[in-house]
Amino acid sequence: MAAPASSVVVLDRGNNTTCTINLHGATVVSWRVNNQEQLFVSKLAVFDGQKSIRGGIPIVFPHFGPWAYGPQHGFARTCRWEVEKHPEPLENGDIEAMFSLVDSPVTKQIWNYCFKLVLRIILREKELQVSFNLYNSSSEPFQFNMLFHTYLKVPDVRKCSISGLQGCMFVDKTKENAIYQEPREMVTVNHWTDRIYQTTQQEHIISNVVSGRKMKMVKYNMPDTVVWNPWDVTSNTMSDFGEDEYPNMVCVEAGIVITPITLNPNNTYEGTMVLQVM
């Protein structure tokens, strides 16, 4: 019997700068820059090929949030993806790899459309670029949400701040989806936070991430930003998240959330998020 295909793909740029993708969900489960991990993965994360991985960068597609037709946040994060292109150096030494997910009987039972979703990862010296390209191979249009559910590792979330949200309207999921406008230039996270910010600035700076550095997030064709920390209030509702872990993470998630995109047959949509250690 053939040995089972490996579940992880590693991009190695040298200098202890690597990125690891688990084919379960094409979830980025590690991004190390000069040996320093930048992403949070829970110590209780489950790697059973069934449950979504609690941490890293799970992909939310084709639906954000609870859903009558299938699992919360869609099926992309719980499907096994294919390697479309094995890691290869580009001319400048950056490393590129690609992964793909196409419709299957499982996805069609939930969402009856044909599609091809390609994830392209480029690992640079201090940057991680994550892009998607979605092709509608159905004979009719479909609507989708897409989100890079990025878990940043931080020493103490209470000391972090996030720019690029001032003036934006947001849905506060901790307040029965009430809608507010963000007055702050720098948003801090001092309690249970679960907000969908609409049409945010293209760039966010998150302060006090690993080693007290700043992280820049730049997004293209992904208008919204979710900010989430379960705090102790809701940590205990997740079996795969330690109750003492909430201070060490913050999710800043680039996506298409508030207004789903309608994609016509034979059309594609591309979006990108770039993370940069400053």
- Three-state DSSP at 75 gives coil
The helix or strand, by DSSP H or E, that contains position 217, with its residue range, turns out to be strand 215-220
Is residue 124 involved in binding ligand BG6 (CB under 6 A)? no
State the catalytic residues. 149, 253
- Three-state DSSP at 262 gives strand
| Minimum CB distance to ligand BG6, residue 187 (Å) | 15
| Minimum CB distance to ligand BG6, residue 251 (Å) | 6
Q: Which of 182, 224, 245, 253 binds ligand BG6 (CB under 6 A)?
A: 253
Task: Please tell me the distance from the alpha carbon of residue 216 to that of residue 237, in angstroms, as a whole number.
Answer: 31
If the CB atoms of residues 64 and 135 are measured against ligand BG6, the closer one turns out to be 64
Is residue 72 involved in binding ligand BG6 (CB under 6 A)? yes
Strands 249-263 and 142-148: what pairing? antiparallel
Is residue 245 involved in binding ligand BG6 (CB under 6 A)? no
Task: Please tell me the distance from the alpha carbon of residue 219 to that of residue 202, in angstroms, as a whole number.
Answer: 5
> Measuring CA to CA, how many Å separate 92 from each of 89, 95, 186?
8, 9, 35
Size of the site for ligand BG6 (CB under 6 A): 10
Task: Please tell me the distance from the alpha carbon of residue 196 to that of residue 101, in angstroms, as a whole number.
Answer: 26
If the CB atoms of residues 25 and 87 are measured against ligand BG6, the closer one turns out to be 25
Q: Which of 13, 24, 73, 153 binds ligand BG6 (CB under 6 A)?
A: 73
| Minimum CB distance to ligand BG6, residue 35 (Å) | 28
If the CB atoms of residues 11 and 224 are measured against ligand BG6, the closer one turns out to be 224
| Minimum CB distance to ligand BG6, residue 258 (Å) | 12
Q: Residues near 247 by Cβ (< 8 Å), separated by ≥ 6? A: 154, 156, 157, 158
| Minimum CB distance to ligand BG6, residue 192 (Å) | 10
Is residue 219 involved in binding ligand BG6 (CB under 6 A)? no
| Minimum CB distance to ligand BG6, residue 173 (Å) | 5
Is residue 228 involved in binding ligand BG6 (CB under 6 A)? yes
Looking at residue 230, its amino acid is P
If the CB atoms of residues 39 and 226 are measured against ligand BG6, the closer one turns out to be 226
Q: Please provide residue 62's backbone torsions phi and psi, each rounded to the nearest 5 degrees.
A: -95, 10
Q: Residues near 68 by Cβ (< 8 Å), separated by ≥ 6? A: none
Pair of tokens at residue 232: 């102790």
- Within 10 angstroms of residue 85's Cβ, the number of other Cβ atoms is 13
| CA of residue 207 relative to chain centroid, distance | 19
**Interface with ligand BG6 in residues 41-70 (CB under 6 A):** 52
Is residue 149 involved in binding ligand BG6 (CB under 6 A)? yes
Is residue 194 involved in binding ligand BG6 (CB under 6 A)? yes
Contact footprint for ligand BG6 (CB under 6 A)? 52, 72-73, 149, 173, 194, 226, 228, 238, 253
